[in-house]
Amino acid sequence: MKFVYREADLRKTIFEQVFPDAPEEITKFGLEHIALGQIIKIDGENTLKGCVIEADENGLLVILMHHFKVDKAIGYQYFKFANIQGIKVKEGMLFYKLTFQFFDGKNYVIRVQKRNTKHLPNQHENIKIIVDKLHDQNLRDMDNEILKKSKKEKRILSFFYVTTLIIFLGFALNFGFKYIKDSFLLFLIIIIGTGILHFVVFMFAVLYLTNRKERPFTKEFNAVMNTYRETDDAYQLLENLSNLKNQPKTQEASNAYVYCIISYQSVR
């Protein structure tokens, strides 16, 4: 098993594992100027996914690599510039941080090492070429209403969590001071238990509301997956997933939907 990313091995892996079943817009990449990086955020949520990137005049190819196997690709994404409203490039001492804001609210942050290494001798030159192509697009608008709405919903959720927790603890403290003020241990157990109870109740409430909101998408998505289990046809699965009438409404469902598409691209 290989433990180190090597430029030649990365090309070989992509050519053998990704390109055979990929469309022409992907296979046209020559992989002459690839750079190794990591996706560190998706829609504001922290993540850590190894990737290989290369840019052409139409977009950025992102090859997702296995977390533990350096010689295994698990899928790809193609960031078409036509679908991107803004690209922000931040250059640090050791890394570039590339932020891509899509019109549909999607937001990706990719961190790419700047310096060359023994096994990646062209990393610095290649990432400079990629960054120059990104700058050439002149996409500066990072202000997206869909992403703002998602962040606002998360802040509201956090506010309600803290507010309801205070209410729960208020009742617990009132009960404790009235009936068990002589037993500190029991008082502490009730406070901790109330915090746990609040967490469970709050999560169940959020799950219920989320499932209700996502019911049309979930029903259609499950039907597509059931069809795949019967036919084992990955091509048809990806076609059906790409043409769902009911799109995911929450960020979590959207992330799962995208991850599902990426995962099944590797088994076609």
CATH number of the domain within which 93 lies: 2.30.29.30
Question: How many domains would you assign to the chain?
Answer: 3
Quote the pTM value: 0.70
Residue 2 — very low, low, confident or very high, per pLDDT cuts 50/70/90? low
Decide if 32 contacts 70 (C-beta within 8 A): no
Residue 234 — very low, low, confident or very high, per pLDDT cuts 50/70/90? confident
- Are 186 and 126 found together in one domain? no
Q: Indicate whether 162 belongs to any domain.
A: yes
Q: Indicate whether 32 belongs to any domain.
A: yes
How many Cβ atoms are within 10 Å of 80's Cβ, its own excluded? 12
pLDDT digits over 150-169, tens only? Answer: 888 889 999 999 999 999 99
Residue 264 — very low, low, confident or very high, per pLDDT cuts 50/70/90? low
- Are 86 and 19 found together in one domain? yes
**What does pLDDT average to over the chain?**
89
- Are 73 and 107 found together in one domain? yes
Residue 56 — very low, low, confident or very high, per pLDDT cuts 50/70/90? very high
Asked which of 113, 136, 159 is the last residue of a domain, the reply is 136
Q: Indicate the burial class of 177 (C-beta count within 10 angstroms; 0-12, 13-18, 19 or more).
A: exposed
How confident is the model over 135-159, as a mean pLDDT?
A: 90
Decide if 150 contacts 172 (C-beta within 8 A): no
Q: Indicate the burial class of 118 (C-beta count within 10 angstroms; 0-12, 13-18, 19 or more).
A: exposed
How confident is the model over 127-134, as a mean pLDDT?
A: 97
Q: Indicate whether 2 belongs to any domain.
A: no
Q: Indicate whether 174 belongs to any domain.
A: yes
- Are 233 and 159 found together in one domain? no
- Are 113 and 178 found together in one domain? no
Which residues are bridge partners to 50 per DSSP? Answer: 38
- Are 208 and 222 found together in one domain? no
Amino acid at 53: I
- Are 189 and 253 found together in one domain? no
Q: Indicate whether 156 belongs to any domain.
A: yes
pLDDT digits over 182-232, tens only? Answer: 788 888 899 999 999 999 999 999 888 878 888 888 888 888 888 888 888
Q: Return the pLDDT at 26.
A: 94
Q: Indicate whether 258 belongs to any domain.
A: yes
Question: Which of helix, strand or coil describes residue 129?
Answer: helix
- Are 258 and 174 found together in one domain? no
Sheet containing 95-102: order of strands:
73-80, 59-65, 45-55, 35-42, 107-113, 95-102, 84-91
pLDDT digits over 61-102, tens only? Answer: 999 999 888 889 999 999 999 999 999 999 999 999 999 999
- Are 206 and 221 found together in one domain? no
Torsion of CA 150, 154, 159, 160, to 10 degrees: 100
Q: Return the pLDDT at 123.
A: 96
- Are 47 and 127 found together in one domain? yes
Q: Indicate whether 186 belongs to any domain.
A: yes
Phi, psi of 188 (to 5 degrees): -65, -40
How many Cβ atoms are within 10 Å of 244's Cβ, its own excluded? 15
pLDDT digits over 15-54, tens only? Answer: 999 999 889 999 999 999 999 999 999 988 899 999 999 9
- Are 57 and 122 found together in one domain? yes
Decide if 59 contacts 79 (C-beta within 8 A): yes
Q: What is the C-alpha to C-alpha distance for residues 240 and 133, in angstroms, rounded to an integer?
A: 33
E strand intervals along the chain: 35-42, 45-55, 59-65, 73-80, 84-91, 95-102, 107-113
Cα–chain center distance at 204:
24
Q: Indicate whether 1 belongs to any domain.
A: no
Decide if 96 contacts 131 (C-beta within 8 A): yes
- Are 12 and 132 found together in one domain? yes
Asked which of 136, 164, 192 is the last residue of a domain, the reply is 136
Asked which of 91, 107, 136 is the last residue of a domain, the reply is 136
Residue 1 predicted with pLDDT over 60: no
Range of the domain at 157: 145-213
DSSP letter, residue 20: G
